Structure 1
Amino acid sequence: MKNNNNKNHHIAMWVVPRSRSTAITRAFEQLEECVIYDEPLYGAYFVNVNADYHLLEERILKIWQDNLSKYPETNYDKIIQKATGKLPDGKSISFQKNMSYFMLPKFGRNWLKSMKNLFLIRDPKETIVSSWKNYRLVNQEWRLIFYGVGWEQHYSLFRDIEALTGSMPLVIDSTDLVKKPREYLEALCFELGIDFSEKMLNWSSNPDNSNLNWGNTVYASYYENILNSTGFFYEDKKSAIPEEFPNELRPYINSSLAFYEEMSKYRMILE
């Protein structure tokens, strides 16, 4: 193991919703030396954007309460202490999946200098349509997806970390990775300073002990496919935009494409 003597080897993967981030996190979850922190910033993000959340209508409040039951820590400083601190016994790596839009402008960023930062991208036509479909599954109104598009915040954080660290963060297009999972995971592990393992390519379906299991919460359907999977698979969805695709989505896609295309210039490309 390349980092046996480093008990604070922390990896932060920054994502937008529906970017295949859970599948990639499942791959890292197979490493015995790795502990998974799944969206640890959620609690702090939630209480800072919904100070009066107790006044939300009952249906929406149930969604937030489900989330807070999984992310009870809402103090930003305490979350960062854990994210950058000593790892549990037997662990030498933490892999942290974070929504970029959870990093509110008021949140301090100096801790990011101690992380290996990775940005995951995927064509916004796919991420936004997938988000829209899932919002419909849990009967959320379309207007709420505004908070879950995330591309402007994704790009802004990418540039913030570049300025903060003085180097370009890693960028992976998840479509590239699912087409060649072995090649990209090997290259990604090399860049992150950890050892690739064959275990990262396959996993058991329906795990009881996964940190990515949302159980009976309202968002269980978001994770159902990947938790029932046993490895990476690629499906061309660019030609599968549904006929009922609402026109309201198009401005979000069009504005997000510029951020995606700019970040795509820096993505890892393997021949």
Structure 2
Amino acid sequence: MWSGPRNLSTAMMYAFAQRSDCAAIDEPLYAAYLASTGLEHPMREEILAAQPQDPEKVIERLMGPIPDGKPHFYQKHMTQHMLPEVPRDWMADVVNVFLIRHPARVIASYGAKRENPTLDDIGFWQQAELFAQVGGVVIDSHDIRENPEAMLRALCAAIDLPFDPAMLSWPTGGQPCDGVWAPHWYEAVWKSTGFAGREGPLPDVPEHLRGVMTAAMPHYETLAEQALKPA
């Protein structure tokens, strides 16, 4: 599952983690991304200590035996973590799904946690680039919140996976699949027991971030044209 930050990605990971046939992993390339870029993110040192910093070792793990002997492996990835030096050939051997969200909503949510995000931070151009390379299924977070069951059924059908009603809810609090950074980023989803209701109007984007939104929009729109719809 390829998305940018603040994009319903954690809720989707929790949904798949409720399946008895599915293992889940949270942003396995995060430490490699921070080590390569030198970016100062919240909990940077904890993240660097918690994961391998060599992307090839990460990919070896992702393509190795699935944890707990499960038949399916849900991998939550951030598209901005796929730096140029990260190998991509393995993507041809997995099912790729692209989770999108309107840039205004992403920027408003991300900006509340980390000020002044750049275009590189929010993953839109990287997401469009990866989709152009490998293709796959596109699903919009707005549609999921509008009708979670219909969209999860459509997604499962598109990737040849039986729908499981367990995907529609989860217990409150942290989940075993959470990354070490969860206390900083996942407060809202920890309080939830399922997908939030339908979204309201688009939020106002601060003047100093409107250029970022303008730059992100063409990438979002390209993928939105391919977005899955319920049957």
Q: Same fold (TM over 0.5)?
A: yes
CA contact (8 A) 2:79 2:126 kept: yes
Q: Distance in 2 between matches of 1:100 and 1:92?
A: 25
CA contact (8 A) 1:87 1:93 kept: yes
Match of 2:185 in 1: 222
Displacement after TM superposition at 1:41 (Å): 1.1
CA contact (8 A) 1:14 1:154 kept: yes
Q: Distance in 2 between matches of 1:176 and 1:111?
A: 29
Displacement after TM superposition at 1:67 (Å): 2.2
Match of 1:156 in 2: 129
Match of 1:256 among 205, 216, 220: 216
Count residues with an aligned counterpart.
231
Match of 1:7 in 2: none
After TM superposition, the structure 1 = structure 2 runs for residues 1-271 of structure 1, keeping only pairs within 5 Å, are 13-50=1-38, 60=40, 63-70=43-50, 72-135=51-114, 141-142=115-116, 145-162=118-135, 169-207=136-174, 209-212=175-178, 214=180, 220-241=183-204, 245-270=205-230
Displacement after TM superposition at 1:221 (Å): 3.6
Larger radius of gyration: 1
**Distance change in 2, residues 1:213/1:113 (3 Å):** closer
CA contact (8 A) 2:25 2:74 kept: yes
Q: What amino acid is aligned across from residue 156 of structure 1 in structure 2?
A: E
Q: What amino acid is aligned across from residue 262 of structure 1 in structure 2?
A: T
Q: What amino acid is aligned across from residue 152 of structure 1 in structure 2?
A: W
Identity %: 31
Displacement after TM superposition at 1:122 (Å): 0.7
Q: Deviations over 1:43-101 (max 9, x none)?
A: 22222222xx7xxxxxx48731132233x211111111111111134311100010111
CA contact (8 A) 1:213 1:227 kept: no
Moved over 6 A (4+): none
Q: Deviations over 1:207-249 (max 9, x none)?
A: 4x421264xx5x62420111110011224343443xxx53111
CA contact (8 A) 2:145 2:199 kept: no
Q: What amino acid is aligned across from residue 195 of structure 1 in structure 2?
A: P
Specify every segment of 5 or more residues in structure 2 that has no aligned partner in the other structure, as ranges: none
Q: Distance in 1 between matches of 2:41 and 2:109?
A: 23
RMSD: 2.0
**Distance change in 2, residues 1:77/1:239 (3 Å):** closer
CA contact (8 A) 2:26 2:76 kept: yes
Q: What SS does the aligned partner of 1:37 have? A: strand
**Distance change in 2, residues 1:149/1:239 (3 Å):** closer
Q: What SS does the aligned partner of 2:226 have? A: coil
CA contact (8 A) 2:3 2:78 kept: yes
Q: Distance in 2 between matches of 1:78 and 1:94?
A: 17
CA contact (8 A) 2:146 2:198 kept: no
Q: What SS does the aligned partner of 1:116 have? A: coil
